[in-house]
Structure 1
Amino acid sequence: MTDSIDATPRGGVEAPDRFRTMMRGFPTGVAVVTATDLAGQPWGMTCSSVCSVTLDPPTLLISLRSASPTLAAILGCGRFTVNLLHDRAWRTAELFASGNPGRFDLVDWDLDADSAGPHLGSDAHAAADCRVGTTVPAGDHTVVFGEAYRITLRPGHPLLYGLRGYRRWPSAEPTN
């Protein structure tokens, strides 16, 4: 038996909760999106709404709360970094999801002249420096398309999030 509801606003007050429950069962990679504001202050937040859009030009999509100070920094400077966290970085994922104003004092990070935002080198297996392209408002979020101009890769397995928990990517070889 299938349990379904209409998820549109007219579907009732339980629609957002049921949508959240559905998405909990869809595991995703974990990233910390970072930028610096015009004064040079670092900003960042945990983001699981990241996906590749196209290879030519290499473009990523991120979705951030419209009221987020990280989004304000991204829009102000016109660039951002997507740090893909490795499987031992779940504490960093929680830290950047917490809103702790001192989060950058609690992690190793670097920012060179070519970086779009802080790189979390000790916690990320990859980082993409991006220039802001198109932005699209979507409910209480803003979707940002970013063209990747530099990719940094390090050894490590991706951190996954689903069913309200962090997991390690299985080490077995994928099957085709």
Structure 2
Amino acid sequence: MTDTASRPLVDPTQFRSLMATHPSGVAIVTTSAADGKPWGMTCSSVCSVALRPPTLLVCLRAQSPTLAALLEVSAFAVNLLCDHAEPVAQLFASGAPDRFEKVGWVRDPESGMPHLVEDAHTVADCRVSRTLPVGDHVVVFGEVVRVGTHAVEPVRPLLYGTRRYWSLAVTPVPPDGEGGAASRQ
């Protein structure tokens, strides 16, 4: 048996290249600090965790001001972006201090969280259930307390992979039992 603890870790550049080949959806994680100031950042590290209770996770850089504000109020929103929202994803990835002045957003009356209204097809309001520091990031687990949608037609989400933004240009295959690939076998 090989002792994996004695093996050197892979170079961060190699790891980044590996993960670039795995596309993911793009979201803007938003929160409102205790003083009411909105904070937000682009995030492609979003994952469902459990159905009972409905829980998702986001991974944020440990030094992120958005993370600091999120932890201050123990709440956040995950704004899932539409395929036309690449400029918004780039804006929120830039860290520009005036980013909320350049997008359409509203403060949700129940949660107080900033919701992007022009560029997000769905928003999940979450309350922090736990955090886990891992390396230079913090994994934030959020219990989903409400989901809202701005979409009025089928959604094409914004994706990120191979270091660029993508859109689905094809119609998704229906799930099994509705003509999907598994039902044709």
TM over 0.5: yes
In the alignment, the residues of structure 1 paired with residue 7 and residue 136 of structure 2 have an alpha-carbon distance, to the nearest angstrom, of 14
User: Of 136, 139, 143, which aligns to 1:143?
Assistant: 139
Structure 1 or 2, whichever has the larger Rg, is: 2
- The 1:169/1:31 distance shift into structure 2, 3 A limit, reads same
**Deviations along 1:111-133, whole A, 9 cap, x unmatched?**
02213521001000110000000
User: Of 48, 67, 72, which aligns to 1:52?
Assistant: 48
Q: How does 1:83-102 map to 2 (within 5 A)?
A: 83-102=79-98
**Deviations along 1:39-59, whole A, 9 cap, x unmatched?**
000000000000000111110
AA at the equivalent of 1:158: P
Q: How does 1:111-130 map to 2 (within 5 A)?
A: 111-130=107-126
Matched, 1:77 2:76: no
Percent of aligned positions that are identical: 52
* 2:160 aligned residue: 161
User: Of 15, 34, 37, which aligns to 1:41?
Assistant: 37
**Deviations along 1:65-120, whole A, 9 cap, x unmatched?**
11111001110001000000000000000000001000000000000221352100
Large movers: runs of 4+ above 2 Å: 8-12
Q: Is the 8 A contact 1:116 1:131 kept in 2?
A: no
- The 1:28/1:9 distance shift into structure 2, 3 A limit, reads farther
Q: Is the 8 A contact 1:85 1:125 kept in 2?
A: yes
**Deviations along 1:13-62, whole A, 9 cap, x unmatched?**
xx111110000000000000000111000000000000000111110100
- The 1:95/1:11 distance shift into structure 2, 3 A limit, reads same
Cα-Cα RMSD: 1.6
In the alignment, the residues of structure 1 paired with residue 133 and residue 112 of structure 2 have an alpha-carbon distance, to the nearest angstrom, of 22
Question: How far off is 1:170 after superposition?
Answer: 3.1
- The 1:34/1:9 distance shift into structure 2, 3 A limit, reads farther
Structure 1 spans left out of the alignment, 5+ residues? 1-5
In the alignment, the residues of structure 1 paired with residue 9 and residue 102 of structure 2 have an alpha-carbon distance, to the nearest angstrom, of 43
TM-score (norm 2): 0.86
Q: Is the 8 A contact 1:51 1:61 kept in 2?
A: yes
Q: Is the 8 A contact 1:79 1:116 kept in 2?
A: no
Structure 2 spans left out of the alignment, 5+ residues? 174-179
Aligned length: 168
- The 1:170/1:116 distance shift into structure 2, 3 A limit, reads farther
Question: How far off is 1:153 after superposition?
Answer: 1.8
User: Of 8, 11, 25, which aligns to 1:10?
Assistant: 8
AA at the equivalent of 1:92: V
